[in-house]
Structure 1
Amino acid sequence: MKVAMIGHKMIPSRCGGVEVAVGHLSESLSAAGVDIVAYNRSSDLDKKDGELRNVETRLVYAPRQKGLNATIYSYLATARAIKEGADIIHYHALGPAASLWMAKLFRKKVVVTVHGLNYKTPKWHGIGSLYIKFGEFITQRFADAVIVLSESTRQYFSEKYGRATFFFPNGISMEKADSYDVLERFGLRANSFLLCVSRLVPGKGLETLIEAYKKCRIDLPLVIVGDSEFVDEFKHKIKSLAADIDRVVFTGQLNKEDVTALYQSARLFIQPSEAEGMSLCLLEALWANCPCLVSDIPENTELLKESGSVFPVGNVNALSSAMQHMLSQCPAKTETRQRIERDYSWPNIAKMTASLYERVLDTNGGFFV
């Protein structure tokens, strides 16, 4: 069975949650005996971080332009996957999935993983938002199987389209950090800073976080890990919001070991997103037994369960009060790693995905539900 992975930027890479998920899923599927070919974007070659075990990769042209990057890449990658004889094309995210009609034209089996309803975030508007909505429509109408990462997204597809989906969450693949040099590099002390790991893009609630941090006037540094592309104006806005506070630290993109060390050393992890598919950063923070404070969107609360605190999404005053309250309580690190490793194992998720592939291939005509 040969499966093409299309939709991510570059794997292996930590430039986004989709990339982390596709990288680990591809390796786990390969270990389970599935022949995986991942189609990477040429525009993101600089983001490559290491090599994948037993996973073939192809470099596909993608222009460095926000409106055309994913669109042109996904059509070119689809054409190449068809030419190279993929049995199944597995699209990741609704935008790239808009090209699946081309795969169906050549009678290819198609699986789509919905990594979130991206058009709900301020990053996408106008034609971009409409194109992602088109991807959603064509996914529910023509994909042989649809995978979702949260129960709320499964309910959405059921209620709006009457379309059955498969709930396969993201997994976790973490090891304790061997080095904590990253703390010294940014002038940090263990258990004495707040942490947010996020791409610097609209919809992640970073404005809310910085305004809340300014309002509560706490002495601990706020460390924001992550970067972005195509949104330089937004990055400038975020950094300008924090310009008058020397305690806000922007680290840029960090490697996995550095981020793990920060998770394990933070006093509090804050995830203020306005919309998510399933937050891998929150999953990683829970694995590290880091106390968590998150926005109350369903995708966060499903993952958090009773293992942290929530605040109303977008509410600066509520976030500020919650931060002060949690810090005044000196939250202890609770044991969440065991639950996370049990419920979010990549080998188990790969086994479910491989089984779904086999059932899709055995289905003749119509889409598989």
Structure 2
Amino acid sequence: MGEQKKLNIAMLGHKRIPSREGGIEIVVEELSTRMVKRGHQVTCFNRRGHHISGKKFDSGNLKEYKGIRIKSVFTINAKGLAAMSSSFFAALEAALGKYDVVHFHAEGPCAMIWLPKIFGKRCVATIHGIDWARSKWKGFAKEYIKFGERMAVKYADEIIVLSKGVQEYFQNEYNRKTVYIPNGVNKPEIKPADLITKEFGLRKNSFILFLARLVPEKGLQYLIEAFKHIQTEKKLVIAGGSSDSDDFMKQVQDMAAGDSRIIFTGFVQGQMLDELYSNAYIYCLPSDLEGMPLSLLEAMSYGNCCLTSDIAECAEVVEDKAILFQKGNVASLQERLEELCQHPECVEHYKRGAADFICNKYDWDKVVQETLEIYRGEC
């Protein structure tokens, strides 16, 4: 057999790359950079407008990034309209361009999957989670995302899902076969506390870390409530920005008021992010709803003891290498936190096994290989 044909691939549905605004952006960047290294041509359709945590985090109007072609598409920068408008114009450009595969990410953008499909393109959809179930979406926006889900079922040549639970959902709801390809994770470099000490007075093992978007389904409200009732000198560090959820951000800031142990860092990236992951005593993700929690994979890759809700999407990731509490149960979360704060030897036990376990289980190169097989119709 000769060498396989190199593909011309379009990616859309993310906000922008490079960016850590959400898990989708990380996935699109990881897939795209690795595909380019394998000789494929990849175009990512970025939204126009500013980073959701402020224009100081913007990466500029790029045309190229690590060999990836970047195209910025017209975007109406308003809640509920940004994804809709940018995905329409990205899908239109992809439909008219010379692409072998158009890869849609997330349910909302899939509302436009029919457009490149009618132009004969091979269309693949990755469902990162059941997005319409997220509490920030109501009314028309919620129904539009559900419509995107149905369009993916109807028009996608293949649907990729990140968890067994979502795979079962599509089978039960639509009798639609999907392909399970979880995300990957990289082995990071552990960083000593430096910036986090200068900025926030944090040292190794002095804090419990929550690192995620500040949206209701991440369960931060449970963590703050539980933490406030614990007798400990450790801090609770809340790292993350708002995502169309300013009301919720004010709610959790009000909950935390009066407890000087609780620190809000805002959105973090780069060295600050590395140092937080590298020096946490515990990483906690108390989510009610997830697709596949990349922050949980990342936290474990840094060798963290992780405490997470017992939803299937988290339990599936950690297996027996982390601690679970009952979803939405503040008393259960408080009990686990108290046990871990009182028993550092237990925390060290989980830290020792985390990184090797997660990095061996979730490999980006394997994810890319399986995704390329989907593109070529080999699965």
State TM-score, norm by structure 1: 0.94
Task: Report the equivalent of 2:217.
Answer: 203
Could you say what secondary structure the match of 1:12 adopts?
coil
- What displacement does 1:272 show? 0.6
2:117 to 84, 100, 104: 104
Could you say what secondary structure the match of 1:250 adopts?
strand
Task: Tell me, yes or no, if structure 1 residue 35 matches structure 2 residue 41.
Answer: yes
Q: Is this contact kept in 1: 2:106–2:128, CA < 8 A?
A: yes
1:168 to 181, 204, 207: 181
Q: Is this contact kept in 2: 1:201–1:234, CA < 8 A?
A: yes
- What displacement does 1:49 show? 4.8
Q: Percent identity?
A: 36
Could you say what secondary structure the match of 2:265 adopts?
strand
Structure 2 stretches of 5 or more lacking a match? 1-6
Matches of residues 1-369 of structure 1 in structure 2 within 5 Å? Answer: 1-44=7-50, 46=55, 47-49=57-59, 52-178=65-191, 180-184=193-197, 185-330=199-344, 331-332=347-348, 333-359=351-377
Superposed CA deviations along residues 148-194 of structure 1, whole A, max 9, x for unmatched, are 01111111111221111111111112421455323212111111100
Distance 2:126 2:152 in 1: 9
Q: Is this contact kept in 2: 1:177–1:258, CA < 8 A?
A: no
- What displacement does 1:339 show? 2.3
Superposed CA deviations along residues 8-49 of structure 1, whole A, max 9, x for unmatched, are 001111111111111111101111222110000112364445
Q: Is this contact kept in 2: 1:10–1:44, CA < 8 A?
A: no
Q: Is this contact kept in 2: 1:88–1:108, CA < 8 A?
A: yes
Letter in 2 for 1:130: E
Superposed CA deviations along residues 250-293 of structure 1, whole A, max 9, x for unmatched, are 11111133222211211111001111110011001111111011
Letter in 2 for 1:270: C
Could you say what secondary structure the match of 1:56 adopts?
strand
Distance 1:33 1:342 in 2: 25
Q: Is this contact kept in 1: 2:96–2:119, CA < 8 A?
A: no
Letter in 2 for 1:282: L
Distance 2:168 2:227 in 1: 34
Point out the more displaced range, 331-340 or 91-100: 331-340
Task: Give the aligned CA root-mean-square deviation in angstroms.
Answer: 1.6
Letter in 1 for 2:27: A
Bigger relative contact order, structure 1 or 2 (CA pairs below 8 A, ≥6 apart): 1
Superposed CA deviations along residues 117-173 of structure 1, whole A, max 9, x for unmatched, are 012221112211111111111111211000001111111111221111111111112
Letter in 2 for 1:359: G
Structure 1 stretches of 5 or more lacking a match? 361-368
Superposed CA deviations along residues 230-249 of structure 1, whole A, max 9, x for unmatched, are 32222111111111111111
Residue correspondences, number: 361
Letter in 2 for 1:24: E
Distance 1:62 1:274 in 2: 30
Task: Report the equivalent of 1:363.
Answer: none
